[in-house]
Amino acid sequence: MLVRLAAEKATGALLRDHGTLYLVDGRVVHAESPAAPGMDVLLTTAGRIPREGWDEAVDRAGAHRAVGRFLVDSGRLGDGELEICHLGAVFDAAFFALSPASGPTRFRYGVGHWFGTVRPVSAEAVERETLRRRELLDAVWPYASVDTAPVVPRPAAPGQGLGARRRALLAAADGVRTPADLARLLGRPAFHTLLDVRRLAAAGLIETPLDAAPDATPTPPPPAFPPVPPVADPDIALLRRLRDALEAHL
Amino acid sequence: MSNVETALKDAASIDGAIGAALVDYTSGMALGTIGGGKELDLNVAAAGNTDVVRAKVRAMEMLNINEEIEDILITLGSQYHLIRLLKSRTSQGLFLYLALSKDRANLAMARHQLKKIEADLEV
């Protein structure tokens, strides 16, 4: 449907269960999803702009759909920063909006978004990137159950290294918060948080729900390893996790 | 002050440039690319080089070196690949990726110019 709307250069909002894509002349100008933190969270949580600054921009420029522009013109953000942050948020929300299990799709012609156009991207690029992200997640750790379960840290093996970003993620994991909660709390894109969570799972640093079943969508195995049969036996799952953790250490 | 497109155009105008990309190194996504052509698929280069950056960041942590990486240079037979990390004030990790033809490029000059492009993009 997105391809068709792009071909007919449609303008409006593509509504799906897990998010909305906004198009202008068939190109994607904005996206939002309840699963992904919005621009306000990304910018204010990181302390880049104060909450009042954001509210002021929405109050003064929201009505004529130029909030992004206002943030730059009022000196709150650089041009490049706005673009980079907005592109990040658009691809992040699009990843969830375009998820395969996302129910019915509707299109409302003529509907725009109050944030305003920053840098339109082709629908094809959004679809390609969404697919690449799905494959990347499964190449890291092919069990989607960790995506929605509360993140429960496990003790690290002696000497097991961990980047600052993932350390902060684990520090915020209180056994109740899900990856989506953590993304919002830390002001990070939701996909980036999912990727970190799957990497942590592969390294054995978080609990993985026992009923973990392979993803329904068939994906090619990571190129570095020979093809493996689908895992049903928990012992094999344990062995694979052990292998992944050891390899992460090489 | 510049935007992504200007930054990439400036990078492409560096002597000997084959192509350039602005990459988010957590997700491996290229936020923008320029040049490359048949010689070099920049989207693939973007995703692949995030592993280079992540490995180096991790090595630095293991060594307890508390310094920022400015740039990473990869020298091939006929090309230079320059990776310049951006000091972002939001939580995104980004780098500029520049592929240069070795016989047409001035490495010191290219590094200097890339530094300037980064500064312009950040302000």
* B89-117: average pLDDT: 90
Interchain contact, B29 vs A132, CB within 8 Å: yes
* B4-25: average pLDDT: 95
Instruction: Please indicate, yes or no, whether residues A33 and A50 belong to a single structural domain of this protein.
Output: yes
Instruction: Please indicate, yes or no, whether residues A128 and A145 belong to a single structural domain of this protein.
Output: no
Residue A158 in contact with partner chain B when CB distance is under 8 A? no
* A46-69: average pLDDT: 90
Q: Give me the long-range contacts of B93-96 (CB less than 8 A, separation at least 24).
A: B93/A165, B93/B24, B93/B25, B93/B26, B93/B53, B94/A84, B94/B22, B94/B23, B94/B24, B94/B25, B94/B31, B95/B22, B95/B23, B95/B25, B95/B49, B95/B53, B96/B7, B96/B11, B96/B20, B96/B21, B96/B22, B96/B23, B96/B121
Q: Output the domain CATH number for residue B96.
A: 3.30.450.30
Instruction: Please indicate, yes or no, whether residues A200 and A163 belong to a single structural domain of this protein.
Output: yes
Last residue of a domain, one of A132, A155, A179: A132
Interface test with B, best of A84, A96, A126 (most B CBs within 10 A): A84
pLDDT range class, residue B33, cuts 50, 70, 90: very high
Mean pLDDT, chain A, as a whole number?
Answer: 87
Interchain contact, B2 vs A80, CB within 8 Å: yes
CA distance, residue B45 to nearest chain A CA (Å): 14
pLDDT at B68 over 80: yes
Residue B69 in contact with partner chain A when CB distance is under 8 A? no
Interchain contact, A129 vs B94, CB within 8 Å: no
C-alpha A43/C-alpha A16 separation (Å) is: 25
Choose the weakest-confidence range: A24-28, A101-105, A227-231: A227-231
Number of folded domains that form chain A: 2
pLDDT at A225 over 90: no
Instruction: Please indicate, yes or no, whether residues A18 and A124 belong to a single structural domain of this protein.
Output: yes
Q: Given this model, what pLDDT does residue A146 score?
A: 93
pLDDT at A219 over 60: no
Q: Given this model, what pLDDT does residue A86 score?
A: 94
Indicate the residue of A80, A186, A188 with minimum beta-carbon distance to B121: A80
* pTM for this model (two decimals): 0.84
Residue B13 in contact with partner chain A when CB distance is under 8 A? no
Instruction: Please indicate, yes or no, whether residues A163 and A103 belong to a single structural domain of this protein.
Output: no
Number of folded domains that form chain B: 1
Window 40-99 of A: residues touching B by CB (8 A cutoff) are 42-43, 45-46, 48, 78-81, 83-85, 87-88, 91
- Helix A79-97 to helix A190-202 angle (10° resolution) is 70
Instruction: Please indicate, yes or no, whether residues A16 and A108 belong to a single structural domain of this protein.
Output: yes
Last residue of a domain, one of A80, A106, A132: A132
- Beta-carbon contacts below 8 Å between A and B: 83
Domain extent, residue A236, equals 141-249
Structure confidence by residue, pLDDT tens digits, A5-56: 999 999 999 999 999 999 999 999 999 999 999 999 999 987 889 999 999 9
C-alpha A166/C-alpha A15 separation (Å) is: 33
Structure confidence by residue, pLDDT tens digits, A128-138: 999 999 999 99
